[in-house]
Amino acid sequence: ANVAGGGLDEKSHPSVSSTAKARPAPGPPADDEDDEDAESGTDHASASQLVSAAAEYMRKNDYEGALQIYNYARSRCKVWDSALTELKVMSNRCLCLQRVRGRLPELVASCNETLRRIADLQREGGSGISEEMLLRMESACLSRRGNAYMQQQKTEEGRR
């Protein structure tokens, strides 16, 4: 299972490839099953494995690899086991984009999406996430987005 752009394969990253192989290809379900998890493509155990693998990549400063895993997890998981897991994936995706150079517009868009989700959770009463945790994640996203905006402005000024 080679993930485009980063060369993730089963020899160098067995936990990623075995999980990716176990998951069906994206697309509509093959048949109309009554099982909600099967219809939504949600496999919380696989999602948890993906998140753990991505966290390991981040610990090794392989932000491109972690970003690929977070992107895959986001595309596959439509219903998360918890709002905190979803928010961690979104927030860590922003961190990866910040660390990977040259993806400022994508970083800004990801931060905006994460900030919208945080605002939704705050309106819903936190969904089991402490106000402190929501504020920390919100602050991190605002900081990353502000940094990206500043870098983009400097880039444009350099072209004038």
pLDDT of 42: 56
pLDDT of 2: 38
- Per-residue pLDDT averaged across 119-136, rounded? 94
Sign of CA dihedral 78, 61, 55, 115: negative
3-state class (DSSP) for residue 135 = helix
> Amino acid identity of 91?
S
- Per-residue pLDDT averaged across 37-44, rounded? 52
Helix (H) or strand (E) holding 27: none
pLDDT category of residue 110 using cuts at 50, 70 and 90: very high
Higher pLDDT, 142 or 46: 142
